[in-house]
Amino acid sequence: MRIAIASDHAGYEYKEAIKAFLAERGHEPVDFGTDSDESCDYPLFIRPAAEAVASGDCERGIVLGGSGNGEAIVANRVAGVRCTLCWDRESAEMGRRHNNANAISIGQRMVTLETALDIVATWLDTPFDGGRHARRIAQIDG
Protein backbone atom coordinates (compact mmCIF):
# COMPACT_ATOMS: atom_id res chain seq x y z
CA MET A 1 0.00 0.00 0.00
CA ARG A 2 1.26 3.51 -0.81
CA ILE A 3 1.07 5.60 2.34
CA ALA A 4 1.62 9.36 2.37
CA ILE A 5 3.61 10.52 5.40
CA ALA A 6 4.48 14.04 6.50
CA SER A 7 5.48 15.92 9.61
CA ASP A 8 6.64 19.21 10.95
CA HIS A 9 9.90 19.54 12.86
CA ALA A 10 8.31 18.28 16.10
CA GLY A 11 7.23 15.02 14.46
CA TYR A 12 10.30 14.44 12.30
CA GLU A 13 11.94 11.77 14.49
CA TYR A 14 8.82 9.59 14.59
CA LYS A 15 8.17 10.15 10.87
CA GLU A 16 11.53 8.63 10.05
CA ALA A 17 10.94 5.65 12.37
CA ILE A 18 7.44 5.07 10.99
CA LYS A 19 8.73 5.17 7.40
CA ALA A 20 11.14 2.34 8.23
CA PHE A 21 8.36 0.44 10.04
CA LEU A 22 6.05 0.77 7.01
CA ALA A 23 8.76 -0.43 4.63
CA GLU A 24 9.47 -3.43 6.88
CA ARG A 25 5.78 -4.35 6.63
CA GLY A 26 5.89 -4.20 2.83
CA HIS A 27 4.27 -0.78 2.36
CA GLU A 28 5.56 2.08 0.24
CA PRO A 29 5.87 5.25 2.33
CA VAL A 30 5.72 8.43 0.23
CA ASP A 31 7.50 11.17 2.19
CA PHE A 32 6.16 14.72 1.83
CA GLY A 33 8.64 16.19 4.32
CA THR A 34 9.90 17.88 6.39
CA ASP A 35 13.45 16.60 6.13
CA SER A 36 14.85 17.78 9.47
CA ASP A 37 13.97 18.83 12.99
CA GLU A 38 14.49 22.51 12.16
CA SER A 39 11.45 24.67 12.86
CA CYS A 40 9.04 24.80 9.92
CA ASP A 41 5.45 25.61 8.97
CA TYR A 42 3.57 22.27 9.08
CA PRO A 43 0.78 22.99 6.53
CA LEU A 44 3.44 23.12 3.79
CA PHE A 45 4.01 19.39 4.29
CA ILE A 46 0.73 18.12 5.70
CA ARG A 47 -1.58 19.46 3.00
CA PRO A 48 0.27 17.84 0.06
CA ALA A 49 0.21 14.49 1.91
CA ALA A 50 -3.54 14.84 2.49
CA GLU A 51 -4.09 15.79 -1.14
CA ALA A 52 -2.24 12.63 -2.22
CA VAL A 53 -4.71 10.58 -0.15
CA ALA A 54 -7.72 12.48 -1.51
CA SER A 55 -6.57 12.08 -5.11
CA GLY A 56 -5.95 8.36 -4.70
CA ASP A 57 -2.24 8.65 -5.40
CA CYS A 58 -1.76 7.23 -1.90
CA GLU A 59 -4.24 4.89 -0.25
CA ARG A 60 -3.71 6.25 3.26
CA GLY A 61 -1.83 8.97 5.10
CA ILE A 62 0.05 9.52 8.35
CA VAL A 63 0.79 13.02 9.62
CA LEU A 64 2.81 13.94 12.67
CA GLY A 65 3.61 16.95 14.80
CA GLY A 66 4.18 17.89 18.40
CA SER A 67 0.59 17.31 19.51
CA GLY A 68 -0.90 16.12 16.21
CA ASN A 69 -3.81 18.53 16.57
CA GLY A 70 -2.84 21.08 13.93
CA GLU A 71 -1.83 18.35 11.51
CA ALA A 72 -5.22 16.63 11.84
CA ILE A 73 -7.00 19.94 11.28
CA VAL A 74 -5.03 20.66 8.10
CA ALA A 75 -5.52 17.14 6.75
CA ASN A 76 -9.26 17.24 7.41
CA ARG A 77 -9.65 20.46 5.43
CA VAL A 78 -8.98 18.40 2.29
CA ALA A 79 -12.20 16.93 0.89
CA GLY A 80 -12.17 13.15 1.01
CA VAL A 81 -9.73 12.88 3.90
CA ARG A 82 -10.91 11.44 7.20
CA CYS A 83 -8.00 12.01 9.56
CA THR A 84 -8.30 10.98 13.18
CA LEU A 85 -6.01 12.08 16.00
CA CYS A 86 -4.68 8.96 17.70
CA TRP A 87 -3.10 8.63 21.13
CA ASP A 88 -3.41 4.89 21.76
CA ARG A 89 -4.32 1.58 20.15
CA GLU A 90 -8.04 1.96 20.88
CA SER A 91 -8.30 5.42 19.27
CA ALA A 92 -6.60 4.05 16.14
CA GLU A 93 -8.86 1.01 16.02
CA MET A 94 -12.08 2.97 16.49
CA GLY A 95 -11.03 5.64 13.99
CA ARG A 96 -10.54 2.97 11.36
CA ARG A 97 -13.35 0.57 12.32
CA HIS A 98 -16.11 3.14 12.83
CA ASN A 99 -14.99 6.18 10.83
CA ASN A 100 -13.06 4.56 7.96
CA ALA A 101 -10.17 6.90 8.73
CA ASN A 102 -7.91 7.03 5.71
CA ALA A 103 -5.39 9.16 7.60
CA ILE A 104 -4.13 9.40 11.15
CA SER A 105 -2.35 12.10 13.09
CA ILE A 106 0.09 11.38 15.91
CA GLY A 107 1.72 13.78 18.36
CA GLN A 108 5.38 12.97 18.99
CA ARG A 109 5.30 14.89 22.26
CA MET A 110 2.21 12.98 23.42
CA VAL A 111 3.12 9.29 23.00
CA THR A 112 6.18 7.06 23.10
CA LEU A 113 7.64 5.76 19.86
CA GLU A 114 6.50 2.26 20.85
CA THR A 115 2.94 3.53 21.21
CA ALA A 116 3.16 5.41 17.89
CA LEU A 117 4.21 2.23 16.09
CA ASP A 118 1.42 0.30 17.81
CA ILE A 119 -1.05 2.97 16.66
CA VAL A 120 0.14 2.63 13.07
CA ALA A 121 0.02 -1.18 13.13
CA THR A 122 -3.46 -1.22 14.66
CA TRP A 123 -4.80 1.31 12.15
CA LEU A 124 -3.33 -0.62 9.22
CA ASP A 125 -4.65 -3.97 10.44
CA THR A 126 -8.17 -2.86 11.39
CA PRO A 127 -10.88 -3.20 8.75
CA PHE A 128 -13.72 -0.72 8.31
CA ASP A 129 -16.89 -2.08 9.86
CA GLY A 130 -19.27 -0.86 7.11
CA GLY A 131 -22.95 -1.30 7.95
CA ARG A 132 -24.56 1.72 9.59
CA HIS A 133 -21.16 3.38 9.75
CA ALA A 134 -20.87 3.28 5.95
CA ARG A 135 -24.06 5.32 5.57
CA ARG A 136 -22.73 7.94 7.97
CA ILE A 137 -19.38 8.13 6.16
CA ALA A 138 -21.16 8.47 2.80
CA GLN A 139 -23.14 11.41 4.17
CA ILE A 140 -19.97 13.08 5.45
CA ASP A 141 -18.12 12.55 2.18
CA GLY A 142 -21.11 13.89 0.26
Q: Which residues are catalytic?
A: 71, 98
Dihedral sign from CA coordinates of 34, 75, 21, 56: negative
Give me the residues paired with residue 29 across strands. 3
DSSP 3-state helix, strand, coil percentages of the chain (rounded to 5)?
50, 20, 30
Give me the residues paired with residue 86 across strands. 106
- Asked if residues 7 and 38 have their Cβ atoms less than 8 Å apart, the reply is no
Strands of the chain, DSSP E: 2-7, 28-31, 60-65, 83-86, 103-107
